[in-house]
A and B are shown apart, each in its own frame.
Chain A
Amino acid sequence: MESPAPRQAAAELRAAHDDRGLHARRRAAQGRPVVGYFGCDTPVELITAAGALPVRLAGRAGRDTSSARTYLDGAVDPQAVNILAAILTPQDHDPVLDMIVITHDCDASLQLFYTLRELRRIGAETFPPVHFVDLLHLPGEPTRRHNLGRIRRFADQLAAWRGRAIDAAELAEAVADHDAARAARTELRRRRADALSGSEALRWYAAATAMPARQYADTLTAALAGAAGDRPAGRPLFVSGSTHDTAEVYDVLEDDGWLVVGEDHDWGDGGDQPLVGVPTLEALTDHYTRAVLPTIARPPHRMARDFSEAVRGSGAQYVLTYCRQYDDAHRWGHPARAAAAGVPAALLREQPYSDIDLPQLSSQLLSQEARMTR
């Protein structure tokens, strides 16, 4: 496929973010299945190798979540509630799913799975088949062995679903395609701070999880060819804490004069991954056990080191730890992150999905800045 022109490529990436069902509909029109997944450590290569399009499930601002709240509200990130609402009552732009895959990357993922499992058991709702892949992330050998068993099982489930085992050639092609996407994402991380607004960068990242991997790699590479020039204006801010699966919060921040130059959540820079390389289940196991660490599974010493390097590398002069309601785990690490950052650092807690308390952010950061420059 010929690579699109940079401007067109950028438009395609934005379109894939703004309408996450766009490529799913195209795939479905070709008679090919779509698998929605929840969890940053989902082995997407296996889904691709099984002939399906993996689409990471995302929330949407303004969605009516009342029915989903009934089941899942309380102690669970409202992002997961928003996604449950999309599963139970899909709307325009939601991908039409043939299967749902959930991993164990955080508590919200696990609770979403348990909720769907029980809703099906009691017959309260209808939705596509759901598979749970229990991938864990402690560094020891018991965890790796457990994960290898889970990945083999998932490959078997996909094979049973489509009626044919995943063969070596299919897996090799899928690994190569997703590695190409990873390499392109890494280039985006390297260049975004000097070329793109934070919200544009996040849109380009998010497109990765709604497009076919090879097409994404080509499109992103083409878009990056045109992404040169001056750093956008704004007070450079590094975003940590809860994930952002849409660009709404970044839009609000940048409309207020901030510029998001980096983040460590897995929908953005924090989703950067090394290449898998070897197309085997063992290599996928190593990758998803040790190279793809959900935020909550990152050891503190590594987290502080990575955080400090990421803040410095991005050129950020401010840090925000953004915590959505019930997504409080990030609060335990905020004092250490703030100390490691060496720049004013704000903590916003109990934030609603897709919104942010801007006055509180400014108040915290600017008052710290005044103290630090005194």
Chain B
Amino acid sequence: MSDRTIPRPRLNAAGDALRHQRDWFATLRGQAEQGRPFALVNADVPQELLRAMDLPYVVNQWWSSIISAKRMSGRYLEALRERGLPDDVEQYSALPLAEALSPRGDDAPWGGLPLPSVVLADCSGDSLRRMFQLWESELDVPFLPLESAAAEIVPENWWELMRHDWEMAIGTARIDLLHLELQELVPRLEQLTGARFSPERLAQIMALSNEQAEWNRRTRDLLASAPQCPVPVNDVIPAVMIPQWHRGTPWATAAAESLYREVSSLVAEGSAVVPHERRRLMWIGRGLWFDMDFYRSFEQSHGAVFVWSMYLALAADAYARYGDDPLRALAARFCAFRDQMYTPPWSVQWYTKEARTHRVDGVVHLISPDSRASWFTTHALRQAGIPVLEIRADNADGRSLDPAALHDQVARWIESLPDHE
């Protein structure tokens, strides 16, 4: 692997986001040490509700990505094993729990995550619920679960419906359920944390988060239509996802706009990650947090650039919800969120659409141990004439694959693809 990365300036939007996140987390840690409550929430929980209560929160999977990027996952997961708990099940969600159960060390990522005041997760998957119950039974941190309802029938092309016609796209029953749950969650959170919910603040947050989604949509559309890919995906991911975890704040909306303007300038300048782009690749699955350089390691050798990850595309299509009732719109944002990326037909139709609009030559499909419906995703892409390479590994657990072997496997597959020139 001689040409792992091409040195080039990082996107300003990515650098700014990373700096902001470090500052924000340091502030949160400081406040938590002084006794201010904060929540740990799973990524699919309606975080805007907490923001409307001015209750700080850390997203479970984001913190997992930090642990993984700092190559601490193996050590923390060992703490689960020592307690007789699984260290090989849904590691991406389990790492913060594993850290909390581990002896505190001086080398914890970013100083370590303080013990949260409350944890929230939806009941998607059997293990997730059991895992989150351990926050309560082992650490005395209250766990507030939300249901994860499923639909019998869904319409086609969800991305065309979700912004305004979400009631029809998702179905009233599922939205009713989460809407009612959120109404009941508010007094419970107020009781546990002393925070106070403001409906007016929620309305502002929903307006800002919709605006943020619109900027992300413009950025995604710009990247899809650009003659050559002007930005590396491992810059786009933090530039999108860090503001995503601050969704509904003026900073996050401004960050999404900045990303769009920066990408727009690069496109106008004719900038390209690879001067002679030969293959455009799509990465389906979660980010390979422990080896983000992987995404750039085929640029010089193969002229291959990853032009797509789900993070920007979801930010573009999956979040915007307009409506007169902010709480109901928030429920609609999350009660079918996983379906958009994991449940056919929605997932497979969306991936195929995105592959076509981004003119990809091939798809690397990461199948995590808890992935669902992966056969249908691969099948739909191949039916559409798009080559797919399947990789089976856990994205957050560096023990689950050999980076050199992965690189060689992908390199051989890229060599088998036809040039798009």
Contact = CB atoms under 8 A, between A and B. Distances in A.
Nearest to B339: A114
A142 B178 CA distance: 8
A335 B126 contact: no
Given A74-B367, A118-B373, A136-B149, A107 B85 contact: no
Contact of B371 (A70, A74, A134, A328): A74
Nearest to A108: B126
B150 A132 contact: yes
A141 B180 contact: yes
Interface stretch (A56-64, A89-97, A144-152, A277-285): A144-152
Contacts of A138: 123, 145-147
Nearest to A347: B84
A273 interface: no
Nearest to B179: A142
A308 to B, nearest CB: 15
A17 interface: no
Contact of A74 (B147, B173, B369, B380): B369
B384 interface: no
Interface string B119-162: 00001011101110110110000000111111110000000000
Interface residues of B, number: 46
Interface in B232-268: none
A317 interface: no
B102 interface: no
Chain A: number of interface residues, binned into ranges: 35 or more
Contacts of A329: 126-127, 129-130
Contact of A140 (B184, B367, B379, B392): B184
Contacts of B84: 334-335, 338, 347
A142 B373 contact: no
Contacts of A186: none
Contacts of B149: 104, 134, 136, 146
A118 B345 contact: yes
Contacts of B176: 142, 145-146, 149
B373 A114 contact: yes
B75 interface: no
Contacts of A330: 130
Nearest to B147: A136
A146 B331 CA distance: 14
Contact of A110 (B131, B150, B173): B150
A339 to B, nearest CB: 10
A89 B158 CA distance: 33
B177 A332 contact: no
Given A138-B145, A142-B177, A146-B176, A114 B127 contact: no
Contacts of B367: 74
B130 A333 contact: yes
A75 interface: yes
A142 B149 CA distance: 11
A114 B85 CA distance: 29
Interface in A319-374: 327-336, 338, 347
Interface string A108-134: 001101110110011000000001101
Contacts of A336: 137
Contact of A300 (B137, B147, B181): B137
Contacts of A338: 84
A117 B177 CA distance: 23
A71 interface: yes
A146 B145 CA distance: 16
Given A104-B150, A146-B147, A140 B181 contact: yes
A330 B150 CA distance: 23
A143 B147 contact: yes
Would you list the 6 A-B pairs with minimal beta carbon distance, nearest first?
A: A329-B126, A332-B130, A142-B180, A335-B84, A118-B344, A132-B152
13 contacts: A71-B375, A104-B150, A111-B372, A113-B150, A114-B343, A114-B372, A114-B373, A118-B373, A132-B152, A134-B150, A138-B123, A296-B126, A299-B133
Interface of A: 70-72, 74-76, 104, 106-107, 110-111, 113-115, 117-118, 121-122, 131-132, 134, 136, 138, 140-143, 145-146, 149-150, 296-297, 299-300, 327-336, 338, 347
Given A75-B370, A142-B176, 14 more contacts: A74-B369, A75-B372, A104-B150, A110-B150, A114-B372, A114-B373, A134-B150, A136-B147, A145-B176, A145-B177, A146-B177, A327-B126, A332-B85, A332-B133
Interface of B: 83-86, 89, 123, 125-127, 129-131, 133-134, 136-137, 145-152, 173, 176-177, 180-181, 184, 343-345, 348, 367, 369-376, 379-380, 392
